[in-house]
Every structure is written in C-alpha cells, then in structure tokens.
Amino acid sequence: MDITLTLAVVIAVVIIVAGVVIYNGIIGGYNRVQRAWSDVLVYERQKTKVLDQLQKVLADFMVFESSLLEKITGLRSAIHSLPAGADGNALATVETASRELMGGLRVTFEAYPDLKASEAANNMMREIAEQQENVGAAITIYNRNVELFNNSIEMFPGSVVNGLFNKKTPVVPFSDTEASQGFSYTPNF
C-alpha cells in the first residue's frame, strides 16, 4: 500500500472515531439533562406529599386563612403540571408558588401562637423547607447539565455532528427572573 492511501485511511478512521465519540457525548449529555429534570420533578412532587399533610393540620386555621389554602392548591397543581421533558421556563411558576406559600405560612405561624406550638406543623414546615432546599440543589445540577449539553451541540465540532446526525435542540435552563430583578450586578459581556 502506498503511503498516501495509508494516511487517508488513518485520517478517515480518526474522523469516524471522533464523530462517534462526539455523537455519544451529545446523547449522554441529553440523557443527563433529562435525568436532572426528573430529579427536579421528584423533589417538587415530594413537596406535595408534605403539603397534603400540612393541609390537614392547618384545616382548623383555614377558616381564617383561606388564601393560604389557595396557595397550597395552586402550588400542588403547578407541580403536577410540570412537563416530563426538561423545561426551565415551566419551573418558574412552581418556584413562584413555593415562595408565596412559604411567605403565607410564615404569616400564619406568626398570627396564630397555638399553631406555632404545634409540633406536627413545625415538623412539616421543616420538611417543606428541606424539600425546597433539595429542589434548589436539583435545579443547580439541572442547569449545569443543560449548560454542558447546550455547549456540546452548539460548539464546533459538536455542532457539525449534531447538525448531521442527532438534530437535538438546545434545552432551556431554569432562570429565576424575580431573583435577577433584585440583583444589580451586570456582567461585562
């Protein structure tokens, strides 16, 4: 075999192997994004279990705090309406409802000293706060995976492989517009 043919075969093999590695990396990144989104959904739905219990404990106080019941109901339906596919924009509604609920619960606990003394209600408040922390951590992991995946399909040579074979579209990360409005620093892009 002549050296040119050998060199061409080696280059072709290297290009094919690199293409397969990039292709598999894109698929792996997409799967990590979907798994991270599933984790967010699991933590959000675990909150509904605690909310159901809390709703029973607060039943006596709901006569006075009907708006709190509406917030709990709104949060539960927002959690149940989260899509199975990764979508950071859909999570914004749930996070807003969570903040409103936590604010309403704090007001209720301050207004009713008997409720404050209820150990069951206090335990549930701690559980909701813990679930919310889990959601925050899961969102951080989700956004990191979204960034890595989006970079893999938008940057060369991944963009070429994705354009030819995978045809994956960028995934929308979660962003908290309420938090960003209260933040005055703007990066120098």
pLDDT tens-place values along the chain, 189 residues long: 699 999 999 999 999 999 999 999 999 999 999 999 988 888 888 887 887 777 776 666 655 556 676 777 777 888 888 888 888 778 887 887 787 777 766 666 666 655 544 666 678 778 888 888 888 899 999 999 999 999 999 999 999 999 999 899 999 888 877 656 665 666 666
How many other C-beta atoms are found inside a 10 Å radius of the C-beta of residue 178? Answer: 11
Distance CA 117, CA 125 (A): 12
Distance CA 162, CA 171 (A): 14
Residues near 109 by beta carbon (within 8 Å), at least 6 away in sequence: 115, 116, 121, 125
pTM higher than 0.95: no
Q: Which of 81, 58, 76 is nearest to 68 (CA)?
A: 58
The distance from CA 42 to its chain's CA centroid, rounded to whole angstroms, is 10
